[in-house]
């Protein structure tokens, strides 16, 4: 399928996706094991991070197909398999962005409204919210899958992930992801500003937070995730003239799953310790 002018690019794409698998899968598998075994489902942060790790693992599982496609230039599994793998990738961007925002909002409530938010910040509520997220993400897949299958079938060629070659049909559902990412980015920006101002102005609250650098680093990482990994790929699909950048931006977006484990580490001072031993994490005071 690939000619000589695109072969080098395809090799690069295969290498990037392969590297993401090699790094992201074991990191998130270990992180998930630690979160489940040593932090359990006892806090909203742990619940959201467990779901985030699951989302990243699903992304890593979807990437071998992309590696094979760009390494060989062929896709032997048909349009339905291509559709399924594509939805896994898209679901990672959406679910990850939502869970990262939940983590930011949870940190916001813990710092700015520590007493009033206690009845809201529970593992039970976090579990219900996570369930709703997965349900919404799966429901969005239904019209998207139908549209993508129609495009793949109409092209009458197994192009699979080379979406720049497709006559992509833009439907109202295509605006869901850009609107979602922009909205969540705004929420993260507001959360970052509110926490930063609270830590600077309220001496009593600032004194209770053991490591303010780690607190703000979490928010900085969340903003970086959105602006670098989620936003570009979410917007480019809407602009016909920039569709040649889709594959490079997909490669960039996939890297997010390799960096999420850093979020787990900085969110829990005692990440490597058992729950009872690491009770004094950055925000445990507000539980």
Residue with the bigger pLDDT between 117 and 208: it is 117
Phi-psi map region of 242: left, alpha, beta (phi>0 left; psi -120 to 50 alpha): alpha
Contact between residue 158 and residue 74 where contact means Cβ atoms under 8 Å apart: yes
Residue with the bigger pLDDT between 74 and 284: it is 74
The domains located in the chain, with CATH, are 4-271+278-286 (1.20.1070.10)
Contact between residue 270 and residue 281 where contact means Cβ atoms under 8 Å apart: yes
DSSP per-residue codes, the chain: ---HHHHHHHHHHHHHHHHHHHHHHHHHHHHHHHIIIIITTSSHHHHHHHHHHHHHHHHHHHHHHHHHHHHHS--TTHHHHHHHHHHHHHHHHHHHHHHHHHHHHHHHHHHHSTTTTTTTS-HHHHHHHHHHHHHHHHHHHHHHHHHHHHHHHHHTS--TT-GGGS-PPP-GGGGHHHHHHHHHHHHHHHHHHHHHHHHHH-HHHHHH-S-HHHHHHHHHHHHHIIIIIIHHHHHHTT-GGGGGGHHHHHHHHHTHHHHHHHHHHHH-TTTTS-TTTS---TTGGG-
Which sign, positive or negative, has the C-alpha torsion 88, 122, 278, 219? positive
Give the alpha-carbon dihedral of 248, 150, 180, 59, to 10 degrees: -50
Q: What is the pLDDT of residues 44-80, one digit of tens each?
A: 888 999 999 999 999 999 999 999 999 988 888 888 8
Which sign, positive or negative, has the C-alpha torsion 158, 162, 168, 172? positive
In 3D space, the residue among 103, 129, 110 whose CA is nearest the CA of residue 262 turns out to be 103
Q: What is the pLDDT of residues 196-215, one digit of tens each?
A: 888 887 655 554 555 677 77
pLDDT higher than threshold 60 for residue 152: yes
In the structure, what pLDDT confidence band is assigned to residue 3 with cuts at 50, 70 and 90? low
Q: What is the pLDDT of residues 165-199, one digit of tens each?
A: 555 556 677 789 999 999 999 999 999 999 988 88
In 3D space, the residue among 28, 97, 45, 123 whose CA is nearest the CA of residue 282 turns out to be 45
pTM: 0.86
């Amino acid at each position: 399928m690939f000619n000589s002018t695109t072969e080098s690019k395809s090799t690069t794409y295969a290498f990037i996706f392969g590297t993401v698998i090699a790094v992201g899968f074991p990191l998130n598998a270990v992180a998930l094991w630690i979160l489940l075994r040593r932090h359990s489902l006892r806090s909203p942060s742990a619940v959201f991070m467990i779901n985030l790790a699951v989302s990243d693992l699903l992304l890593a599982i979807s990437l071998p197909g992309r590696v094979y496609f760009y390494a060989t230039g062929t896709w032997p599994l048909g349009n339905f398999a291509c559709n399924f793998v594509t939805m896994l990738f898209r679901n990672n961007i959406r679910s990850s962005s939502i869970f990262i925002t939940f983590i930011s909002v949870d940190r916001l409530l813990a710092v700015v409204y520590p007493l009033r938010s206690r009845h809201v910040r529970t593992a039970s509520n976090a579990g219900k919210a996570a369930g709703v997220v997965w349900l919404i993400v799966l429901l969005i897949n239904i019209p998207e899958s139908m549209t993508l299958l129609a495009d793949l079938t109409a092209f009458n060629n197994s192009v699979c992930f080379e979406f720049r070659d497709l006559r992509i049909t833009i439907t109202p559902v295509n605006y869901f992801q850009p609107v979602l990412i922009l909205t969540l980015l705004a929420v993260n920006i507001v959360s970052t500003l509110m926490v930063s101002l609270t830590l600077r102005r309220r001496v009593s609250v600032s004194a209770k937070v053991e490591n303010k650098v780690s607190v703000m680093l979490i928010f900085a990482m969340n903003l970086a995730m959105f602006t670098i990994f989620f936003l570009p790929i979410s917007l480019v699909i809407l602009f016909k003239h920039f569709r040649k950048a889709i594959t490079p931006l997909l490669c960039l977006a996939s890297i997010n799953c390799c960096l999420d484990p850093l979020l787990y580490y900085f969110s829990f001072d005692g990440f490597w310790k058992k729950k009872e031993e690491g009770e004094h994490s950055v925000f445990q005071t507000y539980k």
